[in-house]
């Protein structure tokens, strides 16, 4: 597990994300557990000891408990989720409300306007957190606005059906033959 984390998960995922996030706000970050001496020491510990007493990071937890009360670190992970649900009820509410306007959705014809409106209302009343689903719809709506603004037109009914489907082979051949 440590090997696969070291070879792929850290350099291809976690460290990239931390680096990009930090650089975006001119923040210098450090990764002390990747110090060569600390990493070499961790590689010397057998896998069973890493998970002793049914507890992950056993060595680290025992060392830390000498200096910090266990209740400060022996608890479930909290994560770093973006507070999209709160934003959609707060500072992004007007922007999202415009993009999710029922008349607009019905006119466009891509999405079930009644369902989107129901989810939006439930989310706004804090009955249910639909932020994941609503964010997907908002990104689609925002993309659609951008495409339509750049091209200077709205998709017609025929384009809505065929725009994102593969052209028949005869059309694709005739297009390459005329080039």
Q: What is the mean predicted confidence (pLDDT) over 134-156? A: 84
Dihedral (CA of 119, 123, 126, 131) sign = positive
- Residue 104 to residue 141: CA distance in whole angstroms: 10
- Of 70-79, 98-107, 168-177, least confident by mean pLDDT is 168-177
Interatomic CA distance for residues 75 and 167, integer angstroms: 55
What is the band of 156 on the pLDDT scale with cuts at 50, 70, 90?
low
pTM of the predicted model as reported, rounded to 2 decimal places: 0.52
Inter-residue contact 48 to 54 (CB < 8 Å): no
Q: What are the boundaries of each domain within the chain?
A: 2-72, 84-162
């Amino acid at each position: 597990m440590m090997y696969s984390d070291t070879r792929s998960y850290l350099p291809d995922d976690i460290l990239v994300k931390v680096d990009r996030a930090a650089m975006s706000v001119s923040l210098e970050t450090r990764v002390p557990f990747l110090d060569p001496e600390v990493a070499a020491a961790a590689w010397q510990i057998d896998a069973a000891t890493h998970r002793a007493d049914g507890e992950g990071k056993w060595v680290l937890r025992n060392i830390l408990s000498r200096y910090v009360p266990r209740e400060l670190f022996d608890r479930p992970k909290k994560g770093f989720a973006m507070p999209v649900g709160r934003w959609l009820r707060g500072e992004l509410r007007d922007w999202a409300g415009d993009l999710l306007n029922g008349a607009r959705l019905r006119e466009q014809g891509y999405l079930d306007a009644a369902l989107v409106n129901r989810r939006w209302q439930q989310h706004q009343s804090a009955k249910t957190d639909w932020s994941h689903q609503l964010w997907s719809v908002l990104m689609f709506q925002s993309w659609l606005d951008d495409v339509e603004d750049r091209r200077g037109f709205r998709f017609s009914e025929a384009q809505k059906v065929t725009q994102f489907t593969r052209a028949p082979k005869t059309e694709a051949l005739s297009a390459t033959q005329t080039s």
